[in-house]
Amino acid sequence: MTKEEFRSKYLPVGGYLLFIAFGLVVFFIAAFLVVFVRTKSATLVVMPDVVGKPYNEVHNELNRLQLKVRLESKRYPDKTDGIIIYQSIRPGREIEAGSKVSLTVNVGLDRLVMPELKGQTLASAKNAMEKVLSGETYVSLQLGGITYVEAKNGELPDTVVDQIPEAGKNTTAREKVFLLVTKAAGKKKEGDPQTFEFKPGDSYVFAQRVLARNGIPSKAEILETKFRPENGKIESVQKNGSEYKFKVFYFEPEDRIESGYERFEYKISDNGIYKLVVKDQKDASKQLEISAPTQYQEGEKLQTVFYRAGDVTLVLLDQSGSKVKSKDYENEL
């Protein structure tokens, strides 16, 4: 076959095949571009208006939109703590998922580390609370209440022997401080019953400890509250014979953090005398009796509110010292 015959027979076919191949390439490129554009447009999201809202309420929504959030903080004491006061992308704007957005969150409260007040005289503790370092400024702590207990075991009178919140806790100037303070041992006639004055608004935790130190029985009824400042406070108190009966507010927290108020309830199965002890999970030698031995009847509900610092175990003991029930209380975060 001559070259002319080869060209006349096969060249038109090759050109046709080349044309088809070129067309297929163009088709696939066009199809890819269509898919790419559609995919790209499908990842567009609308920036919501988050200014004025608490960041913890919009955090999940921003994650759903796949936005990369960069947080900054500023302090405006007259504005609500934790709210967003600025966003770098205006509300309603269409942006790509994965875009970066800067939010400025207000730190409206004075954050601080609770000072050590135990061991100081009441006057010194009050002075220390007047000037606590918060960042680069000094702020004052509010005194929530003082519970007095008679000094014993070498304790000096007019001295702070316990505090809520505990020393070292990260907190704010808004959280009130409750103190357990010794007083001089009072003179009383032999046989006279010990009496203590507790009033609504006092710290139930310290009232219970005072009674435990003096071997005086007490019981509590828990009243759930929606107001955090009422947490752990006495709503009312009655004295029946030698026994004190309290109604105590309790605020259920969303998460268990390093310290805070906890509740305990148990339905008594046998008549008897019971007491409560709190043990430190990291140091077995650290334990505190938070209630004196108290008589309960079968079917009666034992309730209490106590203050936890760190991971602890609350143990319910019977008259012989045997464990009836225990419950662990730990940091959840």
CATH architecture entry for 109-185: 2-Layer Sandwich (3.30)
Query: What SS3 class is residue 296?
Result: strand
Would you state the pLDDT for residue 132? 94
CB 177 within 8 A of CB 129: yes
Could you check whether 44-106 and 109-185 share the same CATH topology? yes
CB 318 within 8 A of CB 281: no
CB proximity list for 56: less than 8 A, separation 6 or greater = 82
Would you state the pLDDT for residue 14? 55
| CATH annotation of 196-332 | 2.60.40
pTM score of the predicted model: 0.69
The model's pLDDT over 2-12, given as tens digits with 9 standing for 90+, comes to 555 545 554 45
Residue 106 has pLDDT above 80, yes or no: yes
* Out of 15-29, 76-90, 208-222, 225-239, least confident range: 15-29
The model's pLDDT over 269-282, given as tens digits with 9 standing for 90+, comes to 999 999 999 999 99
| Token pair recorded at residue 221 | 């009824």
Percent of the chain with pLDDT over 90: 62
CATH architecture entry for 44-106: 2-Layer Sandwich (3.30)
Residue 198 has pLDDT above 90, yes or no: yes
CA-CA distance, 59 to 183, in Å (whole number)? Answer: 50
Average pLDDT, the chain: 87
- The more confident residue out of 25 and 243 is 243
Strand segments (E) across 208-293: 218-224, 234-240, 243-250, 259-267, 272-280, 287-289
Residue 188 has pLDDT above 80, yes or no: no
The domains of the chain are located at 44-106, 109-185, 196-332
Residue 299 has pLDDT above 50, yes or no: yes
- The more confident residue out of 63 and 136 is 63
